[in-house]
Amino acid sequence: MCGAFAAIAVGLFGCNDLEVCGSTASDITRDGGEPYRCVTSEDCPRTSRVNVCVTDVSPVEVCVRCQDTKCVTVTPEACD
């Protein structure tokens, strides 16, 4: 019984697609190349599948954030 539980625990807590070791921020720009300006993250353009970043911690999924009055896309980096 304990061996089965340990095997399940290793499967749950081992390497998986949700393991994030950092993130990369890139400016969201208009057609002319100038960045979108913002006051809050909700001001930033995004598709229906992209959320607003809710913390400063590296996200598990791509999100948008207002950083230094510019809209940026934050993309998580997987651990190697």
Q: What is the pLDDT of residue 9?
A: 38
User: Which among 54, 56, 59, 51 is positioned nearest to 20, based on CA atoms?
Assistant: 59
Mean pLDDT in runs of 10 for the chain (80 residues)? 40 52 93 96 95 88 95 90
Q: Is the full-model pTM beyond 0.75?
A: no
The pLDDT value given to residue 10:
39
